[in-house]
Chains A and B, each alone.
Chain A
């Protein structure tokens, strides 16, 4: 339990630092791909977490992001939407016997297909919300849609890469 909290807290700090100090400040593909990898923290929160706690954690994470990005309410609303959708999505994607103790929303625990689907849907919801709220107008609809989709694909790629890198070290530790 304590270990789980420490792992999540560590992931929170690491992913947010990576986001605000590196990913936010490099321009890849002339603004067409803006990854928000910090959502991996929300995607990897434990299954056992009650939905209300998930919503509050989502709001707090988004608020911290907003402070660094000077965008009050933007990341907060997107993260809250993500956590709300996640609650229903997890029920929809649950194994036949429900989630068992010791299962984690990771590639080694749930398999690549499950993780990619789960993360893909959540990232898409988060990014679409974020990019349209950021623009505040709909006259550039398709440009913004393309931006959001490309960025979401990039974020998903980074999430899978992070899973690959960390699951290798976890296996090595176990061996």
Chain B
């Protein structure tokens, strides 16, 4: 018994090391999925507040560029909805039509911190559950998709960037409709890979890639990028497609969080299908 105590005392540092490593590995492998009392990500109130202060100080340096982007986006929307207004003007019936039914609600959010040069990238937003931002919602920018919310506190949300191998987005080729998964394994913030495109499908450089939609994360046909490179490596069932992303993730100032209004209904229906 005394020997055991002596052994434990002598090896106590090693035992502590092993215990701490098990704890760290547990966090690493279950970390991003489980909910705990304290969030170990930047939706944590302390981290969010600190990043928010920092952004309040530094945002003046990028105001001009952000304004120009917002004006350009506004113009685009005006051009699109100018048509809808004229339809109303000639007395087209509104409402009670599945074409005009609202499927998504968008909440604007400011990016308070973001990385794009690491091997796993995350973004912090200044909106949280009090603004209806919940885990699993998609995030899009003025030009294309940005990421998926993975945790939200009352005032902040932590987003897994599309520049992170943990996120796989269902996308399709706009021209042919063939779908695949967008996956970041290029380690280049300007591009990503599209996998699962069968070899018989003709893919051309310059083809537009858009979101598949229907998964409750992103709406259908949100721009993602354009095909930059195509090759057919032997020993692989699919083509290697490199997509140049439309959204410049190194400068996303304001983004939109997508709330799919019918998600809960669709999810419960699918769940009922799966049950015998």
Residues of A within 8 A of B (CB): 20-21, 24-25, 27-28, 30-31, 34, 51-52, 55-56, 58-59, 62-63, 66-74, 76-77, 80-81, 84, 87, 131, 133-137, 140, 143-144, 147
B158 nearest CB across to chain A (Å):
5
B contact residues vs A (CB 8 Å cutoff): 12-13, 16-17, 20-21, 23-29, 31-32, 39-42, 44, 46-47, 50, 54, 113-120, 122, 124, 150, 158, 165, 185, 187-189, 250
Q: Which chain B residue lies CB-closest to A28?
A: B117
* A67 touching B27 in the complex, CB below 8 Å, given contacts A27-B116, A30-B117, A51-B13: no
| CB atoms of B27 and A76 under 8 A apart | yes
The 3 closest A-B pairs by CB, nearest first: A72-B31, A73-B28, A73-B27
A18 CB, min distance to chain B CBs, angstroms: 12
- In the complex, what residues of A have CB within 8 A of residue B24's CB? 59, 62, 73, 76-77, 80
- The 8 Å CB contact of B16, one of A55, A70, A73, is A55
Give chain A residues whose Cβ lies under 8 Å from the Cβ of B12: 52
Residue of A nearest to B39 (CB): A67
B116: which A residues are within 8 A, CB to CB? 27
A144 to B165, CA, bound (A): 14
* Contacting pair B27 A72 (CB below 8 A): yes
Choose among B40, B50, B117, B185 the residue that contacts A66 (Cβ–Cβ < 8 A). B40
Q: Which residue of chain B has the shortest Cβ distance to A87 in the bound complex? A: B13
- For B165, the chain A residues whose CB sits under 8 A away are 135-137
Return 16 A-B CB contacts under 8 Å, by A number: A20-B50, A30-B188, A31-B118, A55-B17, A70-B124, A73-B25, A73-B26, A73-B28, A76-B20, A77-B24, A80-B20, A87-B13, A131-B119, A134-B119, A134-B120, A144-B119
State how many angstroms separate the Cβ of B141 from the closest Cβ of chain A. Answer: 18
Q: Is the CB of B40 within 8 A of A27?
A: no
- Contact between A67 and B13 (Cβ–Cβ < 8 Å)? no
Would you call A72 and B40 a contact (CB within 8 A)?
A: yes
Nearest residue in A to B43 (C-beta to C-beta)?
A70
Tell me the number of A-to-B contacts counted with CB atoms below 8 Å.
Answer: 110
Separation of A34 and B50 alpha carbons in the complex (Å): 21
Using A25-B113, A134-B120, A135-B119 as known contacts, list a sample of 8 further A-B pairs with CB atoms less than 8 Å apart, ordered by residue number in A. A31-B118, A52-B16, A59-B24, A71-B122, A73-B24, A76-B24, A77-B24, A143-B187
B54 to chain A: which residues have CB within 8 Å?
21
Write the chain B residue with the least CB distance to A33.
Answer: B117
Rounded to whole angstroms, the CA-CA distance of A2 and B118 in the bound complex is: 38
> Nearest chain A CB to B16's CB is how many angstroms away?
5
Q: Considering the chains assembled together, what is the distance between the CA atoms of A31 and B184 in angstroms?
A: 14
Q: How far is the CB of A20 from the nearest CB of chain B, in Å?
A: 7
Whether B122 pairs with A69 at a CB distance below 8 angstroms is yes
Q: Which residues of A contact B113 (CB under 8 A)?
A: 25
Select which of A67, A73, A136 is within 8 A of B46 by beta carbon: A67
Partner of B187, one of A20, A55, A140: A140
CA distance A1 to B20 in the complex (A): 27
User: In whole angstroms, how far apart are the Cα atoms of A27 and B29 in the complex?
Assistant: 27
B118 to chain A, nearest CB (A): 6
Q: Which single residue of chain A is at the shortest CB-CB distance from B34? A: A72
CB distance from A50 to the nearest CB of B (A): 8
Contact B189 A31 (CB under 8 A): yes
Instruction: Give Cα distance in the complex from A137 to B184, angstroms.
Output: 13
